[in-house]
Chain A
Amino acid sequence: MFCPDEERLSAWVDRELAPVEDEFISTHLAACEVCRRSVTIAFMVDRESPEALSEEGQHRVYQAVQGALAEPSHCVTDELLAAWLHDGLAPADRSKVTDHLAECDDCRRAAALTRMSNAEPVSALGPLQESRALNLVLRSAGRDAFFSFWRVAAASLLVAIAATYVAIQWSGPPQSPTTLASAMTGSDPRPDPRPVETGGGSKDDPMFVSPSNNTPGPNKSGAAPEKGPAESHSPARFQALQIFETDGLSSTAPGRLSYGDLLKPKGVATVNVEGRAAIVLDEGSESRIAYAADAGAYVVELSKGRVFIDTAGAEQTWEIRRADRAVTLRTFRGRASAEADGNGLRVHVLKGAAEVGPYPVERGRSVEVRADSSVMVDDRLESCASLAERYSGIRPRTLLVLRAAAGTSSDDGPWRFNSQSRKAELLEGANSLIPDCADPIKWVVIALDEPLKYASDMVLRAACGGSAGARICLWVGGQGGWHREALRQASGTSAEEWPLRELRSEMVPLLAGQEIRKIMIGVVQERGREHSLEVDGIEIRRVLD
């Protein structure tokens, strides 16, 4: 992307360009934050230069801003508008904002521009999408929309001047206008994102929202999580991710991770993404992860070091970014490593295959985006082999896909379930569940709100208590019911593990992709002997090969 020079930008501001060039720069500005910022600052410096303000002038500006702030505004707040844009409002509030937008040109333009602002990296869209998005905004808002943006920016500047003025008044003798001016023009208009460091962080670390605050289920379109200061400037196209489990980070509880959270582990760390993929952060790495709903892709932004990605056998799209460079692995099924290489980015495919642009990239190959933005795809068998060895030493062996507790219910968090009792009980009509067992069976039942799709590498782990030597029946149900038997060797409390692979219904095994909606663990009451069973927590994990 070539940025226009200041002269042309200035001419664009003054509407002195030919229509074709004018449109070209409009398109460029929609995608380029640097130029947009330059234009905005130039515009404001020309018209509202703080240097031009005397002390009296500053005071007048302060009074004007205070007066403006005292007036009740009918426009929706920025927070509401942002929530409206991200479907984060209750229906009634959403309707109010929508009604207001129907009437208010300024807010409508602000909303359109927010969508187009660099908070959403338009440059990451395909050329067709970019052109379409731009046309939509330009058609609805007109080019004056940028001036609406400036109005908002100018208002922010006035508030900033006023705030500085007040601060100066409170903190002692006023600074010279030159210092103030240089502070205003030279500073980044965006506040410092202050990334969250999760490695070795405190329990108050905002990376993880407590389960009660989670949006239930791994629903990518759900409301955004509570934003810490770092998240308020996350690119809007990135959504928070449901994290099922972490290891090596400050918190191991399930929660959410957003683009604003900088992952900086002290050693090696693993992140279980929605029970669908594993990310392993190697020592010394710094990265962020998120979900890009527009591309249907998981996103890893790497600042430093190396990360490994494992799709756990599923086909997924991954966007690996470093600053403004990105490699998108489409239809990726396998393992890959991504590392910051000087100012460039290098992605190795360690297992499986992916499509990068029009090219299939298979195991043993790498994609390199160099500092000069050139892209190289080449064979790197040796590097891939050594990286695969490294990954093999640090990788997680299992991937948590479900965690539930017997005798409780959960309406929030990534897993919603209902279980009446942790002690096995006789159930009415349950005699026919296990057609090849003649004895009565007492059951502990856990009903899932959302079905779990079976994979043959799943194992069920349960913390059990009760009689030793008891026959255990495991039953899972969806559109059918599948079961298997096991023997509980231990007495008292023990952790039991049963592969789900041996589950059958009418001697027909459970097949990959079939849905599990209910999990029952039963103890067979063999003739003459009564057996007890208590179940606390259960987990279903996939065993990664």
Chain B
Amino acid sequence: MNAWGLVFWGFALVAQDPQVPVTTEADADAAIAEFKRNYYRPGSTEDELVLAVRTLGETVHAKTLAVLVPLIYDGRGGPVATRIAAALVLTNFGKIDGTPEALIRAYAITDAKQVNRPVRIQIIQTLGELKAESAMGLINAAIFDRDPWVARAGAKAAGCVRGMYSIPYLIRRLQSVESKEGDKPASDVPDPSKSGDPKESMERHRKSEKQVLWGPIQEALHDITRLRHDCAKSWADWWAAQKEYKVPK
């Protein structure tokens, strides 16, 4: 039996997700040197900048992390795509201490202007991929973000991290989207229709906040609790029965 147990655990270990190898300092230095050559080459196109960032992100090391993080919040003069790429590649940096904290710092520096929305969403998505428990505070705040797409990313990240402290925030946002507030359109993307009344047209076919958020929040609650409830009220009742905590207001 012991032998079978060893075999079982052996398989279990092998079957785990392949880890991205952590590279040596020399590799990191070489990757950074190459990155600087490519990124700061005069006349580089946006695609070349993005590819330079993505290539650097393949070398997982604290030194490359230190180069990538500032790219997220200031882009070093590059376009938004490079900032998104820098946040995206950090999904491989789970084994490097301080990655979630660096992402949180980058998020804090990034303001809520429209141009920054994809960067903020990508940071939250990366934190979710990293299952960063230390980022729970940020993820919970994102669930309450005014921008439903940031909130959607927050809900999905909460489902990935599976922290119980996200439950009340998710329930509260669910209550919000099930109210009248949830009926407003979730998207401010310009309507492609140039003729007619764009606003009317948008309202006619765009999803509401409720349609954008209800599903991901339900999924996140299910991922955390392994339970299913039909509406915010059922979730709130269940939660009140489980804990002394009140749903945040």
* Complex: chain A residue closest to B211, CB-CB: A438
A512 contacts B by Cβ under 8 Å: yes
A-B contact count (CB 8 A): 79
Partner of B51, one of A471, A487, A506, A512: A512
Cross-chain contact B46 with A508 (CB below 8 angstroms) = no
Given contacts A506-B153, A507-B118, A508-B84, contact A438 B46 (CB under 8 A): no
Chain B residues, CB < 8 A from A435? 152, 207, 212
Given contacts A436-B186, A506-B125, A512-B81, contact A456 B211 (CB under 8 A): no
A486 contacts B by Cβ under 8 Å: yes
In this complex, the member of A457, A513, A526 whose beta carbon has the largest number of chain B beta carbons within 10 angstroms is A513
Count of chain A residues with Cβ under 8 Å from any Cβ of B?
26
Cross-chain contact B121 with A436 (CB below 8 angstroms) = no
B88 contacts A by Cβ under 8 Å: yes
Chain A residues, CB < 8 A from B193? 471, 487
Partner of B50, one of A471, A512, A527: A512
Cross-chain contact B121 with A438 (CB below 8 angstroms) = no
Cross-chain contact A509 with B207 (CB below 8 angstroms) = no
Interface of B is mostly: helix
* Complex: chain A residue closest to B196, CB-CB: A469
Digit string of A123-146 for contact with B (CB within 8 Å is 1, else 0)? Answer: 000000000000000000000000
- Closest Cβ of chain B to A295, distance in Å, is 21
Cross-chain contact B207 with A526 (CB below 8 angstroms) = no
Partner of B122, one of A437, A438, A508: A508
Given contacts A512-B50, A512-B51, contact A506 B149 (CB under 8 A): yes
Chain A residues, CB < 8 A from B211? 438
B179 contacts A by Cβ under 8 Å: no
Cross-chain contact B153 with A526 (CB below 8 angstroms) = no
Chain A residues, CB < 8 A from B88? 511
Cross-chain contact B121 with A513 (CB below 8 angstroms) = no
A455 contacts B by Cβ under 8 Å: yes
Partner of B121, one of A352, A508, A511, A512: A508
Chain B residues, CB < 8 A from A432? 215
- Closest Cβ of chain B to A339, distance in Å, is 25
Digit string of B111-135 for contact with A (CB within 8 Å is 1, else 0)? Answer: 0000001100110010000000000
Q: A residues bordering B, Cβ < 8 Å? A: 313, 352, 432, 435-439, 455-457, 471, 485-487, 504, 506-509, 511-513, 524, 526-527
Apart from A436-B186, A436-B187, A511-B81, what 11 extra A-B contacts exist at CB < 8 Å?
A313-B47, A435-B152, A435-B207, A438-B206, A456-B81, A457-B47, A486-B192, A506-B152, A509-B118, A512-B51, A513-B47
